[in-house]
Structure 1
Amino acid sequence: MSQVNENAVAQTDKPVRKVKLMNAIGFALGDFYGGGFGQLAVFLPVFWTKFAGLEVDQAQNIVGIATMVAAFAALAVGALSDNLYRYKFGRKFGRRRFFLIAGIPVLLCTSLMWIPGMPLWAYFAAYALWIIANQMIMTPYSALPTEMTTDFNGRTMLSTTRMLFSGISNAVIPLGAAALLAALGEENAYAYQVAMIGFLVIFCLCLFAAWKATWELTPEKAGFDVEAIEAEKQQPFNFGEWIKGVGQLFADFLSTLRIKSFRKHVLIYLLGQSFLDIFGQTWMFFVLYDLNKPAAFASALLGLSIIGEPLKPVFGWLFAKLGPRKLFSIDFAGAILGLLGLLFLWKSQSTMDPGTWNILLYVIMIWWLIFRALTWFIPWNVFPFIPDVDELVTGKNRTGVFVGFQLFLRKMTAGFAASAIGIYLASTGFVKDAESQPVTAQNGIATVMVGWVILGLAIAWIISLTFALDKKTDGILVGEIQRLKDGGSKADVDPEVRKVCEKLTGVKYEKCWPETSK
């Protein structure tokens, strides 16, 4: 789809500028929205079933179907972002950062989700726009660390700071919502509206700050030969070539699965994130109907995640020290223990001393939230190094393709999960706009929030045990790429380097680094 100057590609390994702390903070503010996006969705099922007159399966199917439909936006935005330098518009406004600004008015339109009394199709359209806006913003946003620097420490600072602000949003939004629901009365629709629309405005301000603090590769350093592209545009339109280009685009997305490290990474990522979505979508129901506590209390409990935020630098240190594989094991073991603790508290609520029960609830919730944060943290610290593995195979920087395809798969699995929740809970006898639920529905909620999530995390844990990409192996890989860029012969590769490269890529070394990349 794009005309690429192969000599220019070799320049992409040089940092454009040094990443400073203020750049990292500005960049990270963008993920205040990225993390908060999911937090706002926690309140939607309760709002729709209590104030919009929707059945639980209708509410969850809106989330599920709209998410799957909008998932295709990730593919489109990923491809468009990678190729926007082919056009004067992209060369003037950028191929990544432009989407941060363009997403702001779209986000403001999604406030329609929080208006009671609309028809079903209107809620579907508003939620679909909410998901599309997320793809439109986060797909190019996630590609920025790879473009801003190739330095391991620089990328780690960007990713760590990003996860810090994402985690802060995971605490600030529930705490802020809890305060507003308690002050305005959670039985009033406007309490939810004031809280959620207020956070939408804050998201827009954060995206503007991220736009100001970041940069991206120039067209030349991204490998685009502008003169050749303009000359190509002077040729008559060829429909056959256009169809061929579209086919190549989809082939590019599927080709990401050729990379062994990406296959494992994306499975771990999808299982972890999608099952955390399941926890989030059933948490309010669990507290309201299983623990018999108010929505403000449920929201405040989620706000306890702020305690884990000072640990983010520790997470970053552990990531560099232990590597992803060992840290995944610590994470999944801790998360599963936390879920089992919540199940124990539900079952023992009527028999345990209330004071002891409350103390245990806070302790177990803090434990769970720390490991939930780590489940988000690790994959997004791994991702910036995935394009390095692909570059050895293809000779190109295809970050946008990887981001787009990963987010597409993420939304598809999240959509399936949301619909499955609605169908399952409806089958257990869940009653909309009810003060309490029948025992079958209470058991169903616990089965989803604890049982399903434990199963997903356990599978992810098993896959992570064979994950080989870490600081050491990435350094070997980057060194080999640089050797080849400098004109080194593939025949002279060190046997140990060959072994690492093949283990990370899943491709025979002889088939890596195409001749045209020299």
Structure 2
Amino acid sequence: MITPAVGASAVSRGVRLGYGVGSFCTATVSTVPGLLLLYYMTNFLAVPAWLAGVVVTAPKVWDLVVNPLIGRWSDRTRSRLGPRRPWLLAGACTLPIAFFLVFAGPPLTGVPAALYVGVCFLVTATAYALFEVPYKAMPGEMTHDYHERTSLLQWRMVFIGAATAVSGVLAPAIVTSQGEHGTLDSYRLMATVIAVILLLAMLGSFFGTARAPMTGAPEADRGGWREQFAAIKGNRPFLWLTMLACTQMLAVSMMLAAAPYFAAYTLGSPKATQTLFAALVGPILLTMPLWVRLARRFDKRGAMILAALLYAGGTTAALATPVLGIVWAHVTILVVGVGYAGVQLLQFSMLADVIAVDAAETGKRRAGVLTGLWTAIESGVSAFGALIFGVILSIGGFIESEPSRPVEQPDSAVTAVLIGQTAVPALIIFLSVLMTLKYRLTPPGAPAPDASA
């Protein structure tokens, strides 16, 4: 049994707020492209659905290279700002510009438009890694206490909820402000507003974490790639947690990509995307104290199982939307939101535990490498969610279009939208419940989970 150390170190409220506000970057860059980019390409740039799915996915392959590299560099960084914060600043100076360019909408359609968006999205992914990889490494270095990390990260989740509201409600509202289906100009306006929000949030996190503790931070691991990856390969809690998070992220990314299609073709109102996201993020903002208590009561493993079951149950129930209507859809998404809140909080808390245990057992600072791999794999898997949904649309016969030439979708395409939003993600989330049973890291003094589970 592997157990994380417990200590009395607590993180000040100011640092918690400063750290938490950086989640506006995490949630926004994950949500806005996941929610709008596929729809933007198929319905505004006349990019075929399968190619749009490839464009969303392809830049993520680069993450497998750049994220671990940035993590390794941040582990070895020596500066008066600490090992992580210089990278936060670098991301803040580059990501907002790259994000805007993705939705800048040059006068291109079809394959040329796909190439343009693909290049800009590749730059965005790189700039995002500069900030996100070191950012995720910080909680495991702020405190040794098993439950304090969950308490610290609930602040992060509150900001994720707020950012998801901005991304899922404000961004679509701006897009549809100049017409029910939006225009290229409205997408540019949305990108400008989101880029400004990103800049303010990332700078806020950089300055807000100036007094963040580095409790007993070990020396950086100076071994080569082969030695570091060999050690990570033997870290079973990290491997299981990464696979678990990737499985859950695949389902989340599919639902994000499907949301505007679900609103437009299942509910009959593109603007319903905003209210659906309000139903999703409300529980994130309100249930964090509940999930912290459940994690203490049932341990993080048990709470994660409960959260995933709620998520999967709500997603499954949404299959009945064509029969029970728009109110039913919002009720099911509300249930999904409760489960999603727990899943997100517990993922990051478990990752911080794994980082702390690795540092305690090896005496080396490898948080950057661990979070780099985590972020790269998770990001790549999330892109596959959009790709899978794009393939489902293509199989269903979805027809790409431009605003000036709207088309009537066949019934098979409408059915494909419903399946991609509900049935497939539900199956994936149920699989993650089985995977959670293999997670073995427990608090000190607790019995190890039953290996036969």
**TM-score band (shorter)?**
0.7 to 0.9
> Residues of 1 paired with 2:218 and 2:381: CA distance?
31
Aligned to 1:238: none
Q: CA deviation at 1:325?
A: 1.9
1:250-281 per-residue CA deviation (whole Å, 9 max, x = no partner) reads 44134313112112211111101122111111
CA change 1:397–1:216 in 2 (3 A) is: farther
| 1:95 partner SS | coil
Determine which of 122, 129, 132 is the counterpart of 2:126: 132
The answer to whether the 8 Å contact 1:29/1:210 transfers is yes
1:34-58 per-residue CA deviation (whole Å, 9 max, x = no partner) reads 1121221111111112222211112
Aligned to 2:90: 102
Q: Which residues in structure 2 correspond to 1:90-489 (within 5 Å)?
A: 91-110=79-98, 111-116=100-105, 117-118=107-108, 119=112, 120-185=114-179, 186-214=181-209, 215=211, 221-223=217-219, 248-294=224-270, 296-308=271-283, 309-346=285-322, 348=323, 357-391=325-359, 393-433=361-401, 434-472=406-444
> Residues of 2 paired with 1:408 and 1:393: CA distance?
24
Aligned to 2:62: 69
| 1:431 partner SS | coil
Q: Which residues in structure 2 correspond to 1:71-86 (within 5 Å)?
A: 71-85=64-78
Q: Which residues in structure 2 correspond to 1:16-95 (within 5 Å)?
A: 18-41=10-33, 42-85=35-78, 91-95=79-83
> Residues of 2 paired with 1:254 and 1:452: CA distance?
34
CA change 1:142–1:429 in 2 (3 A) is: same
1:3-58 per-residue CA deviation (whole Å, 9 max, x = no partner) reads xxxxxxxxx9988x852112101110001211121221111111112222211112
Q: CA deviation at 1:61?
A: 0.6
Which residue identity is paired with 1:95?
A: P
Q: CA deviation at 1:181?
A: 3.7
The answer to whether the 8 Å contact 2:52/2:390 transfers is yes
Q: CA deviation at 1:217?
A: 6.5
> Residues of 1 paired with 2:375 and 2:148: CA distance?
24
The answer to whether the 8 Å contact 1:14/1:150 transfers is yes
The answer to whether the 8 Å contact 1:68/1:415 transfers is no
1:452-474 per-residue CA deviation (whole Å, 9 max, x = no partner) reads 2122111110111232323345x
Q: CA deviation at 1:182?
A: 4.4
The answer to whether the 8 Å contact 1:178/1:300 transfers is no
TM-score, normalising length from structure 1?
0.77
Instruction: Name whichever of 129-138 and 439-448 sits farther off.
Output: 439-448
The answer to whether the 8 Å contact 2:18/2:204 transfers is yes
> Residues of 2 paired with 1:100 and 1:264: CA distance?
28
Aligned to 1:479: none
Q: CA deviation at 1:93?
A: 4.1
> Residues of 2 paired with 1:369 and 1:216: CA distance?
30
> Residues of 2 paired with 1:192 and 1:146: CA distance?
38
Q: CA deviation at 1:162?
A: 0.5
Instruction: Name whichever of 100-109 and 440-449 sits farther off.
Output: 440-449
1:404-453 per-residue CA deviation (whole Å, 9 max, x = no partner) reads 11112212323334333323322321111244421222222222222221
Aligned pairs, number: 433
CA change 1:286–1:52 in 2 (3 A) is: same
> Residues of 1 paired with 2:327 and 2:418: CA distance?
21
| 1:150 partner SS | coil
> Residues of 2 paired with 1:420 and 1:31: CA distance?
27
Q: CA deviation at 1:330?
A: 1.2
CA change 1:427–1:465 in 2 (3 A) is: same
> Residues of 2 paired with 1:182 and 1:441: CA distance?
23
Q: CA deviation at 1:218?
A: 7.0
CA change 1:250–1:165 in 2 (3 A) is: farther
CA change 1:69–1:320 in 2 (3 A) is: same
> Residues of 1 paired with 2:383 and 2:190: CA distance?
25
> Residues of 2 paired with 1:395 and 1:307: CA distance?
41
Which residue identity is paired with 2:86?
A: F
The answer to whether the 8 Å contact 1:338/1:365 transfers is yes
> Residues of 2 paired with 1:216 and 1:170: CA distance?
25
Identical aligned pairs, as a percentage?
A: 19
| 2:138 partner SS | helix
| 1:471 partner SS | coil
1:222-273 per-residue CA deviation (whole Å, 9 max, x = no partner) reads 3269xxx9xxxxxxxxxxxxxxx6xx22441343131121122111111011
> Residues of 2 paired with 1:443 and 1:220: CA distance?
55
What 5-or-longer segments of structure 2 have no aligned partner? none
Aligned to 1:480: none
Which residue identity is paired with 2:88?
A: L
CA change 1:51–1:20 in 2 (3 A) is: same
Task: Give 1 or 2 for the bigger CA radius of gyration.
Answer: 1
Which residue identity is paired with 2:143?
A: T
| 1:53 partner SS | coil
Q: CA deviation at 1:205?
A: 0.6
The answer to whether the 8 Å contact 2:104/2:191 transfers is no
> Residues of 1 paired with 2:391 and 2:76: CA distance?
40
The answer to whether the 8 Å contact 2:217/2:365 transfers is no
| 2:400 partner SS | coil
> Residues of 2 paired with 1:283 and 1:164: CA distance?
22
1:50-82 per-residue CA deviation (whole Å, 9 max, x = no partner) reads 222211112111111111123321111111111
CA change 1:472–1:395 in 2 (3 A) is: same
Q: CA deviation at 1:393?
A: 4.3
Which residue identity is paired with 1:127?
A: F
Which residue identity is paired with 1:455?
A: L
> Residues of 2 paired with 1:128 and 1:256: CA distance?
27
| 1:180 partner SS | helix
CA change 1:134–1:253 in 2 (3 A) is: farther
Aligned to 1:486: none
> Residues of 2 paired with 1:182 and 1:67: CA distance?
28
> Residues of 2 paired with 1:375 and 1:405: CA distance?
20
RMSD over aligned Cα atoms: 2.7
1:354-391 per-residue CA deviation (whole Å, 9 max, x = no partner) reads xxx34323222211222122222211111111023324
